[in-house]
Amino acid sequence: MHAYAFEGRDQIFRVWIVLIAVLSLLLSYVLFLILQQLELIKQWADKFPWLGGPPSAFAIFAALYKWFDSALWKLSFLCPVPFATIPNLNGTWEVEIIPSKGTESLPGHFTIHQTWSKISITLATDISHSRSLTAAITLSDPQTVILTNEYSVDRKAKAPKNFDPHLGTNRILIGVEKGTPTKLSGHYYTESNRGSYGDIAFNKRVK
């Protein structure tokens, strides 16, 4: 997975970092009071001397941030107003690659793995496998997302002899409802020495 661009994410990130930091301090203090009330502070120190005391605010912060990065950000109702949320694009779709030059279409599976900070976009067919190198998410309007990514393509054993590894770009138009992708369509083009381009038809979401 790799980082991706999203307009306004830094602003949202600063808000969440402050909230997580404050919550970490509160939880650490509450945990300390509970252990102190139960007279477990000394037992903790004797049992885990290398930790130096009950779970610190830093350890709690790290755990909360990990939770936020992997899961919590997907809960759009938790995002502070008036900041826009990053759409959750995770999923796998059956697609059809339709070249512009009249050759037969090629079925495949288009998959997006996404966290708050990173994303991975892959396209697998019988003859090739592509993976994203860079990506950017743009909000065209509240219900429409544009996902643009550069990718590299590797050939599989079934690939024709004239099929070489290459680079390319996808531009996917995604309809979004309540932070979840609904209708997708897209097109692609490859580097200039190949000069191929075409459409990506999204037929059915399978995961």
43-85 residue pLDDT tens? 655 665 545 555 678 888 999 999 888 888 887 665 554 445 6
- Mean pLDDT score of the chain: 81
**Other Cβ atoms within 10 Å of 54 Cβ, number:** 18
Q: Give phi and psi for 128, each to the nearest 5.
A: -155, 165
Which has more confidence, 9 or 93? 93
Looking up tokens 């390319």 gives 168
**Hey, what are 102's tokens?**
């009249």
Most confident range, picked from 54-58, 169-173, 179-183: 169-173
Q: Which residue has the higher pLDDT, 172 or 161?
A: 172
Interacting residues of 37 by C-beta distance below 8 A, sequence separation 6+: none
Alpha-carbon dihedral angle through residues 56, 57, 58, 62, given to the nearest 10 degrees: 110
Q: Report pLDDT digits (tens) over 125-166.
A: 988 899 999 999 887 677 788 999 999 999 888 888 878 888
Q: What is the rounded average pLDDT of the residues 118-128?
A: 92
| Percent of the chain topping pLDDT 90 | 26
Residues of the chain with CATH 2.40.128: 91-205
- What is the reported pLDDT for 193? 67
Q: Which residue has the higher pLDDT, 151 or 12?
A: 151
Q: Please give the CATH number for the structural domain made up of 91-205.
A: 2.40.128
Count CA atoms within 13 Å of residue 88 on its CB side: 15
pLDDT at 70: 87
Residues 88, 90: Cα–Cα separation, whole Å: 6
Q: Which of 28-42, 105-119, 171-185 has the highest mean pLDDT?
A: 105-119
- According to the model, what pLDDT value does residue 50 have? 47
